[in-house]
Amino acid sequence: MNVFLDLVAGTLTQGLIYALISYGIFITYKILDFPDLTVDGSFPLGAAVTAVLLTRGAAPWLTLPVAVLIGATAGLCTGLIHVKAGVRDLLAGIITMTALFSINLQLAGSNLTVPRAVDTIFTSRPVMALLGGVPLLYRKLIVSTLLALVIKLILDAYFRTKNGLLLRAVGDNDTLVTTLAVDKGRLKILGLMIANALVALCGCLVCHEQRSFSATMGTGQMVFGLAAVIIGTTIFRRASRVKGTTAAVVGSVIYKAVIQIAISLGLPANLLKLVTAVLFLCILVLGTRQGKGAERRA
């Protein structure tokens, strides 16, 4: 029973941490309609910066705002390449992602491990003062839940502001935004900055949770984020009151649960990417068929 509970707690922790990627993809994919491949570079960027800071004695909680700032910078670069240089959205993301791969290698090498003696946010003094008697696994779950919830509430509040409403409008009807005398390019850049800040923050939390950085850890994160968002939005397709951020969290947890089930059934680790691709394809096909069915009924 304890093994099962530990497995559930670990899966929930992973789903809640990676929900931050889902938040970012939700902004670029569902709001901006922007296929942003910067994600595969900004995710390990956040982890690389975190690993370097932790190994050099930085305070664990300081790594979070640093990751947010550097992730926003990556999004800014993609936005400027697209808006100011006139490069197509997909290519702009690929350019930034490629550049970030070299930057990550320069920062932390191909791999960097955080020693056990170094504190992370899960073993920091404030957390230990409050949750010192809680096992590490469940401490990670509590902290991850609080972070995912706080960021969700901040995003929901932002989307209700004037600027947030304009950001949501630019993906649906950029002509309307222009008629309101608002620079749609500036809004796109802002959206990309917010999205990649969240993705880099996710990389930061993963580094804290796993105590390691790998130059290849960003591979497939774009696919994961898209799959999580599509799962969540498909489940809550008819629930108009459910916010997109809620759908992103639920989708992330479900996706991680499916992967965990596959591992528990004995799936070799080297086939995980194949399972991820197949699962994503099934999700896309199901979503497309449901969309066509809704159109026929209408």
pLDDT value at residue 236: 86
pLDDT value at residue 183: 84
In a domain, 254, yes or no: no
Contact between 43 and 21 under an 8 Å Cβ cutoff? The reply is yes
pLDDT value at residue 47: 97
In a domain, 108, yes or no: yes
Rounded Cα–Cα distance for residues 148 and 28 (Å): 18
In a domain, 150, yes or no: yes
In a domain, 133, yes or no: yes
Distance, first Cα to last Cα, the chain: 48
Rounded Cα–Cα distance for residues 77 and 181 (Å): 24
Query: Cα angle at 36 between 34 and 38, to 5 degrees?
Result: 160
Q: Is 220 helix (H, G, I), strand (E, B) or coil?
A: coil
In a domain, 225, yes or no: no
pLDDT value at residue 207: 97
Contact between 215 and 44 under an 8 Å Cβ cutoff? The reply is yes
Q: Label residue 57 left, alpha or beta by phi (over 0 means left) and psi (-120 to 50 means alpha).
A: left
pLDDT value at residue 272: 77
Rounded Cα–Cα distance for residues 70 and 76 (Å): 10
Local confidence pLDDT in tens for the 298 residues of the chain: 678 888 899 999 999 999 999 999 999 999 998 989 999 999 999 999 999 999 999 999 999 999 999 999 999 999 999 999 999 999 999 999 999 999 999 999 999 999 999 999 999 999 999 998 899 999 999 999 999 999 999 999 999 998 998 898 887 777 777 777 778 899 999 999 999 999 999 999 999 999 999 999 998 899 889 889 988 988 888 777 889 999 999 999 999 998 888 888 877 777 777 877 787 788 777 767 665 555 565 4
| Residue spans of beta strands (DSSP E) within the chain | 111-113, 212-214
Rounded Cα–Cα distance for residues 50 and 209 (Å): 11
Sign for the CA dihedral angle at 121, 156, 242, 223 comes to: negative
pTM, two decimals, is 0.93
In a domain, 203, yes or no: yes
In a domain, 236, yes or no: no
Rounded Cα–Cα distance for residues 256 and 253 (Å): 5
Strands 111-113 and 212-214 turn out to be: antiparallel
In a domain, 148, yes or no: yes
- State the residue range of the domain holding 107: 2-218
Q: What's the domain count of the chain?
A: 1
